[in-house]
Amino acid sequence: MKIYTKRGDSGETDLAGGGRVAKDDLRVEAYGAVDELNSFVGVALADCSEDLRPGLEAAQRTLFSMGSALATHPEATSPALSEPGVVDADVEALETAIDAADADLPELRAFVLPGGTRAAAAFHVARTVCRRAERRCVALSRDQAVEAAALRYLNRLSDAFFVWARLENARAGVSDIEWTRRDG
């Protein structure tokens, strides 16, 4: 089987469960942003601490399931296509991970500039891409049904990336760089 089908050459793509939409359709924008996010999670995995790897790998699996649900036609009736992409337990697992990482960090007293170690920088990039994916999913949710758990998951995941970035810096002895207003 060839990797290319030529079916998208005219600017449309197939949805799982039937139907075609424009490649700039809100649904395609949403699952495309989730796919992009998943790739940046892969970048973060390349440099992160070993104990963070299981959480990131779980996030990748959840993001893939979320993307699959978003790529499915809203009226698809096949049971295989109607499974949820994200469940409440996924959100709760992230909250537990955030709380555990945050417990090892100094109190946050100011906005933090992205950067520090390579791992922290990768987490900051993932955080901003996650926020974009969240915005795309929110935009889609105004017009079509989007799992409420998926929206909550993206919101928590960006928080997790922020905390993990701070944790990576703290472990490496790199101080967060606090943002300060310009004088004058």
Residue-wise pLDDT for 48-68, tens only, equals 999 999 999 999 999 999 999
Residue 178 forms beta bridges with which residues? 112
- CA dist 82 to 26, 29, 35, 161, Å? 19, 20, 19, 29
- State the CB neighbour count (10 A cutoff) for residue 9: 8
Residue 22 forms beta bridges with which residues? 12
Give the pLDDT of residue 184: 59
Evaluate whether 122 touches 47 at the Cβ level (below 8 Å). Answer: yes
Distance from C-alpha of 69 to C-alpha of 64, rounded to nearest angstrom: 9
Ranges of residues in the chain whose predicted pLDDT is under 70: 76-82, 184
Evaluate whether 133 touches 37 at the Cβ level (below 8 Å). Answer: yes
Q: pTM for the full model?
A: 0.92
Query: Which residue is listed with tokens 């959480």?
Result: 55
- 45: tokens are 């995995």
Which residues have a Cβ under 8 Å from the Cβ of 27 and sit 6 or more positions away?
A: 15, 21, 70, 71, 140, 144
Per residue in 17-50, pLDDT (tens digit) is: 788 888 889 999 999 999 999 999 999 999 999 9
DSSP class of 22: E
Give the pLDDT of residue 99: 96
Give the pLDDT of residue 68: 92
Which residues have a Cβ under 8 Å from the Cβ of 85 and sit 6 or more positions away?
A: 62, 65, 66, 67, 68, 69, 70, 147, 150
Evaluate whether 113 touches 178 at the Cβ level (below 8 Å). Answer: yes
- State the CB neighbour count (10 A cutoff) for residue 36: 17
The domain 12-178 belongs to what CATH superfamily? Cobalamin adenosyltransferase-like (1.20.1200.10)
Give the pLDDT of residue 78: 62
Give the pLDDT of residue 22: 82
Query: Which residue is listed with tokens 């697992």?
Result: 93
